[in-house]
Amino acid sequence: MARSHFVVALGTALFTALLVSQLVINLGFPQVDFWHWRLHQQEHHDIPQTHVFSEKQDNGTTEAPSQYLIGAGKADITGPVVELNLMGYANSSQVGTGLRQRLHSRAFIIGNPSTPSERFVYMVLDTAMGDTAIRNGVLEGLQALGSEYSVYNKNNVAVTGTHQHAGPAAWLNYLLPQITSLGFDKQSYQGIVDGAVLSIKRAHETLTLGTVSAGSGRIADANINRSLYAYLANPAEERSRYTDNVDKTLTMLKLTRASDGKHIGQLNWFPVHGTSLYGNQTIVAADNKGVAAYLFEKEMESNSNAAEGFVAGFSQANVGDTSPNVLDAWCEDGSNQKCNLSDSTCGGSNQPCHGRGPYFGLNDGGAKSCYEIGKRQADGALDIFNADSSFTSITGNVRAFHTFVDYSNFTFTLPNGTLARTCPAALGNGFAAGTTDGPGAPDFVQNDPSGRSSPFWNIVGSAIAPPGPEQIKCQAPKPILLNVGEAKVPYDWTPDIVDIQAFRVGQFIIIVSPGEATTMSGRRWRDAVSNAASSSIVSNPIVVLGGPANSYTHYIATEEEYGIQRYEGASTLYGPHTLNAYINNTLTYLPYLADDLSGTIAPGPTPPDNRNRSISLITGVVYDGAPFGKSFGDVITDTSASYPIGSLIQATFVGANPRNNLRLEGTFAAIEKVASDGSFTQVRYDKDWELVYEWKRTNGLTGTSEVTISWDTGTKWESNATQIESGNYRVRYYGDAKSVGGTITPFVGSSRVFSLV
């Protein structure tokens, strides 16, 4: 997964801001994960952490569960899978070349049956994060559905991302994450919005009376802390209250239909980065949480207690300093040494330092490790789900609030009485150093108190927006690399105005975080809400934190972690008091979750909407061509006549650009089995992990391309182990070709019929 600077010649810019943007692209934007950081863990095993939900109320009696309106829906949000930068690693050379697993939006609705306005929608999207542009589009889409959907609004809709790093990019509202994707792509954006709205529509259409219950359990082997040095900067007394240096508890809400007792869905929170798939692989997939949801939903298909169309949501929690690369970070320079604890370097350089997943070394782009980390989450969630006796009935009212707050200069009082403020957003040098899941620019290291930088980056930083003395003081001890909060040309680079949101159903409270809270940040935030809610809202609250949601605000480190200025502190946008500001705002508006709700919350300032003014240097499909004597869908390389089960089966076809038709709710690839009457039944398609679609341009002038479809029948994918049967099959390819005149025509290709024995 070696990284280096990249050179992309884009020509002369037409105006200053575009010039700056292209300079960053042309000369080397740090190829880091805007949305993740590093690990290094000591050699020890965590002690199991007790997490008990009490069924008893204050009077010692058990209350009957309340009934709610419950609904769950799922829809396809897969955008362009080729010729578009992938979102997450900020690597401009990581451009999509195919599809392993379709991306989805999963929506969960919980409401008060007697008061239609008292409900919320929690969405889990297979995207890197929630975003202002996506949220605006979803809210507009709901309005377009008519008055029946007017109960869904900015106050009660949360748009969260699983934080996967292998999906199409170019759909975000602000300039900074648009740079490596060459701007904004309406097709990528609209695919997410349309699918997200459809998932809510499906959840709404299946609303029914039911119960909600909560359970939890420990998953010990699916995450580690990749920034242990920063975590250890937190007070020893505070750390001693926890058995683990990352949260190992998965907390789950189970939704059960009253009419027949069947479960319609489950929504859970567990922190682990979506970086199992490496930054050097280019096949679109939903990473480990997508695998977890896929496996869980597949298991529910044969569960007699699950309703048809069961939806499993695997949401992120305080994900900031977590990693799925559970074998730790190692120097890939032949030394066989672990990376330096304090700055994640090997011989002073960040480049050789990489995290290793459980199946590191297979040269598969992290696919097997990704599947394994997803399976560990799915297995843990299934154990919790099936332990019905350990669940707590949720009883009480449904509440939600949302407002916007300007964090460019938010002044508030700390618990100790000290006056504090946030700052205009800025990214420090440690941001450019990247993480062990994706090292950054070689000029930088994490935790470098000298604030060193190259002359080039000094020029770039000054050209964007040089920080003044007040900003430097406010952000200290962060050495400012990119003063993005004060960069407004051609439009905002990062958000100043952030979402503050929380939901409540009974004693269950959901903090909706716009950024990636670190392990300790999440603990402090949850504890503060729990303590406040206990005294004024509900006894024995169960508090979870979900995100990154709504407006993506990068990281949320503790003040102590901020002082270390590793990746997490350097990427905490609004200065050392960022976490305390979020806690202050959440507690300020927490009374809106109380039973005796009165009045309406002030909406706050409106964030900028950059959808219609975003730069786009992304070219569309011009036309497709087939080689002389060939037609679209013709077989170039066919399958063999027969294979033993466990083989890799491949067929290559005359292809066309899949950007011509996203085939949402459909498929590009399929495996069909021959039935006894000679008919064909589809047994695998784009949602299935072991079926991979790859597209390759063969001639740009003539517009020709090839598509290879691969089906791995090996038992290394557990979903195959009991489902691959001997018999006769064929590979099917579904494509759409664009003519010179712009007409798009669908076609189908088929391999020969082959046997599996």
Split at pLDDT 50, 70, 90, the class of 722 is: low
Helix or strand or coil: residue 651? strand
- Say whether both 589 and 670 belong to one domain: no
**Hey, which bits of 58-103 come out as E strands?**
68-76, 82-87, 95-99
Does a structural domain hold residue 34? yes
195: pLDDT strictly greater than 70: yes
Do residue 172 and residue 318 come from a single domain?
A: yes
Residue 39 has pLDDT above 90, yes or no: no
Q: 541, 559, 593: which is the final residue of a domain?
A: 593
Question: Does residue 347 carry a pLDDT above 70?
Answer: yes
- Domain limits at 652? 635-756
- Given a cut of 60, whether residue 26 has pLDDT beyond it is no
- Higher-pLDDT residue of 287, 58: 287
Q: What is the pLDDT, as a whole number, of residue 719?
A: 54
Q: What pLDDT sits at residue 459?
A: 85
Do 589 and 667 belong to one domain?
no
| C-alpha atoms less than 13 angstroms from C-alpha of 520 in its C-beta half-sphere | 27
Q: Are residues 186 and 335 in the same domain?
A: yes
Mean pLDDT computed over 155-167? 98
Same domain, 588 and 639: no
Active site residues: 323
Q: What is the pLDDT of residue 716?
A: 67
Which residues define the annotated binding site? 163, 273, 516, 555
pLDDT digits (tens, 9 = 90+) for 474-521: 999 999 999 999 999 999 999 999 999 999 999 999 999 999 999 999
Percent of the chain with pLDDT over 70: 90
Residue 82 in domain:
yes
State percent of the chain over pLDDT 90. Answer: 85
Of 32 and 256, more confident: 256
pLDDT tens figures, 561-602: 999 999 999 999 999 999 999 999 999 999 999 998 778 899
pLDDT digits 0-9 by tens, 621-654: 999 999 999 999 999 999 999 999 999 999 999 9
Residue 413 has pLDDT above 90, yes or no: yes
Say if residue 644 is in the same domain as residue 577.
Answer: no
What distance in Å separates the CA atoms of residue 652 and residue 646, rounded to the nearest whole number? 20
CATH of the domain at 685: 2.60.40.2300
Residue 462 lies in a domain: no
Q: Are residues 114 and 263 in the same domain?
A: yes
The lowest-confidence range among 604-618, 649-663, 721-735 is 721-735
Dump pLDDT digits (tens) for 527-558.
Answer: 999 999 999 999 999 999 999 999 999 999 99
617 occurs within a structural domain? no
The answer to whether residues 283 and 140 belong to one domain is yes
Q: What is the mean pLDDT of residues 264-287?
A: 98
The amino acid occupying position 169 is A
Instruction: Please tell me the predicted confidence (pLDDT) of residue 571.
Output: 98
Note whether residue 488 is domain-resident: no
Shared domain for 27 and 166, answered yes or no, is yes
Helix (H, G, I), strand (E, B) or coil at 726: coil
What was the pLDDT predicted at 17? 44
Per-residue three-class SS string for 161-217: ECCECCEECCCCCCHHHHCCCCECCHHHHHHHHHHHHHHHHHHHHCCEEEEEEEEEE
Average pLDDT score, the chain: 91
Of 563, 593, 623, which residue is a domain's last?
Answer: 593
Binding-site residues for Zn(2+) sit at 163, 273, 516, 555
Helix (H, G, I), strand (E, B) or coil at 148: helix
The radius of gyration computed from the CA coordinates of the chain, to the nearest angstrom, equals: 25
pLDDT-based confidence at residue 439 (cuts at 50, 70, 90) = confident
Q: Which of 543, 563, 593 corresponds to the end of one domain?
A: 593
CB atoms within 10 A of CB 600: 9
- Specify if 449 maps to a domain: no
Q: Rounded to whole angstroms, how far apart are CA atoms 720 and 168? A: 27
Q: Are residue 582 and residue 670 in the same domain, yes or no?
A: no
Min mean pLDDT across 126-135, 203-212, 720-729 is at 720-729
Band (pLDDT 50/70/90 cuts) for residue 718 is low
Instruction: Spell out a b/e string for 97-135, using b for 16 or more CB atoms within 10 Å of the CB, else e.
Output: bbbbbbbbbbbbbbbbbeeeebbbbbbbbbbbbbbbbbb
Residues 573 and 710 in one domain: no
579 occurs within a structural domain = yes
Residue-level pLDDT at 450? 74
Integer Cα distance of 524 and 528 in angstroms:
6
- Is the pLDDT higher at 97 or at 1? 97
pLDDT reported for residue 212: 98
Residue 601 in any domain: the answer is: no
Asked whether residue 563 falls in the same domain as residue 664, the answer is no
Q: Give the per-residue pLDDT at 642.
A: 98
For the chain, what is the domain count? 2
If pLDDT is split at 50, 70 and 90, which confidence band does 81 have? very high
CA-CA distance, 192 to 102, in Å (whole number)? 12
Query: pLDDT-derived band of residue 41, with 50, 70 and 90 as boundaries?
Result: very low
Q: Which has more confidence, 404 or 116? A: 404
Task: Kindly report, residue by residue over 297-324, the tens digit of the pLDDT.
Answer: 999 999 999 999 999 999 999 999 999 9
